[in-house]
Amino acid sequence: MKRILLLSAALLPLSYSPLFSQIYRAGDYYYSPQPKPAVLDSRLEITANAFIGSNTIKELSGITLLRSESGLGMTVLYALAPWVSAGLEGAVSRSEEAEPLLHKYGFVRWGAAAKFTLTPSTAPRTYILIGAGLTRHKTEYLGGRRERKDSPYAAVGLGVETDVTDAWFIGMEGRGTYHFDREIGAYFYLKHRWSASFRVHTGIRF
């Protein structure tokens, strides 16, 4: 009995030592709840966006006609995994006027897109979007003559989004678009192959 009391008295100071506290905290951390892995609850994602961008258009003589563009777009993606989805995207620009040389200019864009979510288990989520497809440039002259020119493009975007409800989310994205062909008609061309845009979007999941 005396030996048990002596052993208890010897171990009592160790229970308050820093070493014991570290061991206890390590054990407590081991049993603490861990973040839940991302679960693929919804497969289909439909997003609508509004964008504004910088895209300088010039006439063959070098005169600058337009410096900006804006419009609306839509993306339909199907989730292949919690962190990746693929599908289609499209956009329509607002018609811009640059008289007297150009009455109206606009474009329609459609292509394929893939979205890679970098943080699928957190809110807000960050992602990278890669797209490629075709841009149809549409020009209209003062005399009523119209011209169309198709040009392939590739795009990469970096964005962030957060959930408002289980099915509804909002976000924003910065995107760079590479134009493989700078000519948009017989008399007009893009000053740069790269154009930049900023867009805000909202979407739903099914």
pLDDT for residue 30 is more than 50: no
Which of 1, 169, 173, 187 minimizes the C-alpha distance to 105? 187
Computed over its alpha carbons, how large is the radius of gyration of the chain? Answer: 28
pLDDT for residue 4 is more than 80: no
Bridging pattern class, strands 84-93 and 64-81 = antiparallel
pLDDT for residue 47 is more than 80: yes
pLDDT at 3: 52
Is the pLDDT higher at 201 or at 119? 201
What does the alpha-carbon distance between residue 87 and residue 144 come to, in Å, rounded to a whole number?
A: 37
What does the alpha-carbon distance between residue 173 and residue 117 come to, in Å, rounded to a whole number?
A: 13
Residue pLDDT, tens place only, 117-154: 999 888 899 999 999 999 999 988 877 788 999 999 99
CB neighbourhood size of 13 (10 A): 9
Mean pLDDT score of the chain, rounded to an integer?
84
Which of 112, 115, 125 minimizes the C-alpha distance to 79? 115
User: Residue by residue, what is the 3-state secondary structure of the chain?
Assistant: CHHHHHHHHHHCHHHHCHHHHHHHHHHHHHCCCCCCCCCCCCCEEEEEEEEEEEEEEEECCCCEEEEEEEEEEEEEEEEEECCEEEEEEEEEECCEEECCCEEEEEEEEEEEEEEEECCCCCCCEEEEEEEEEEEEEEEECCCCCEEEEEEEEEEEEEEEEEECCCCEEEEEEEEEEEECCCECCCCEEECCCEEEEEEEEEEEEC
Residue pLDDT, tens place only, 167-198: 999 999 999 999 999 998 888 899 999 999 99
